[in-house]
Amino acid sequence: MEITYERFESTDAEELVGFLSGDTWPFHGSDVVDRDEVRQWIREGRYDNQDNRTFWIVTAGERTGLVRLMDLCDDTPLFDLRIRSEHRGRGLGGQALTWLTGYVFTEFPQVQRIEGTTRQDNVAMRRAFRKCGYVKEAHYRDAWPAAHGKVRDAVGYAILRRDWLSGSTTLPDWNDEHILGSRGV
């Protein structure tokens, strides 16, 4: 499947409003996004300014998803990845993650790592992270508000520039508490 990425432009504002408010996003902050809230976010520059860039994911001429890159002026940017519900489960998320990783490391030489966080139960995104060379670095208990007042665990992943360049994966030292000494904290 041929996938291309088109940079968001201000003339796309109402399409973005329709995209975000016209679907459900079960693994994001809110399952449903308000149209006026999206318009406000656009006015604030959340989708296109010096620190943020957004790209449409295009398959067969249709805008099927969105990649929003954030904190690009920092050395550790974040991203938001959304695929329309009717296109989920087809591997678009993993392909978009591979693309955005290459894009960020190529276009922003100061960036040494890229981070992403998802809910623990977002199995598809967690698999995409692992397949694309990202490593689990954090597990936050009861940290992600979900629908109907539920709270879920959040899981943080990252990829290092050096790992991306070498095609390797380095893991965190999860057994480092010996450095605390015998007294603990």
Each of the 185 residues of the chain gets a pLDDT tens digit; together they read 789 999 999 999 999 999 999 988 888 877 788 999 999 999 999 999 999 999 999 999 999 999 999 999 999 999 999 999 999 999 999 999 999 999 999 999 999 999 999 999 999 999 999 999 999 999 999 998 887 888 999 999 999 999 999 999 999 988 888 777 766 55
Give the burial string for 69-84 (b: 16+ CB within 10 Å, else e): bbebeeeebebbbbbb
CA 52 to chain centre: 13
Predicted local confidence at residue 170, as pLDDT: 93
Query: What predicted TM-score, i.e. pTM, was given to this entire model?
Result: 0.90
CATH superfamily of 3-175: Gcn5-related N-acetyltransferase (GNAT) (3.40.630.30)
**Cβ contacts of 28 within 8 Å, gap of 6 or more:** 80, 82
Rounded CA-CA distance 77/94 in Å is: 18
Predicted local confidence at residue 177, as pLDDT: 80
Look up residue 137 and give its two tokens. Answer: 């670095």
Q: How many CA atoms lie within 13 A of 100 on its CB side?
A: 36
